[in-house]
Amino acid sequence: MDLQRHPRTHGTTVVGVRMGGKVVLGSDGQATMGTVVMKHRAHKVRPLFGGKILAGFAGATADAFTLFERFEEKLQQFSGNITRAAVELAKDWRTDRYLRRLEALLAVGAPDRLLVISGSGDVIEPDDDIVAIGSGGPYALAAARALVQHAPALPARDVVAHALAVAADICIYTNTNVSILEIDASA
């Protein structure tokens, strides 16, 4: 992933897990502009495709909303096939003159998979059903992996909540006002 193309994707933490029949995606609520906290309770995760898909963003807010809309259009076009929609969005994002200027990353989840989508054309499916993006992403990812490995009975929602708390303790661009969404994969 070309992180040089996404210099402003540092301002948040989004983490997702798929386990125990659940898909859970959560984020902190801090919105910053440079080094100034502008908002404490932003909602950076949302349900898409009638609540069957979850998506979260790290990066410029207006860009993220544009990407949410484009991803939702792709989901409609491909009947909810998250992989196909993600690949098509990534292709558009990389080649379209307007879209390629957008500075954000998306983490998306469905009952069958989790993905990270970038503007440099990346669509990444993790090996361990855990995704994390943003400046606090590496901390949340490490925490979520440790929790899944050492506390496998912990519910997916708790894994996400604890991983976000760890990131908030370390990353200055992450706070403890979290939004967590969940899909029951078995339903």
* Catalytic residue annotation: 12
DSSP string, the chain: --GGG-TTTTS--EEEEEETTEEEEEE---EEETTEEEES----EEEETTTTEEEEEEE-HHHHHHHHHHHHHHHHHTTT-HHHHHHHHHHHHHH-TTGGG--EEEEEEETTEEEEEETTS-EE--TTSEEEESTTHHHHHHHHHHHHHH-TTS-HHHHHHHHHHHHHHH-TT--S--EEEEEETT-
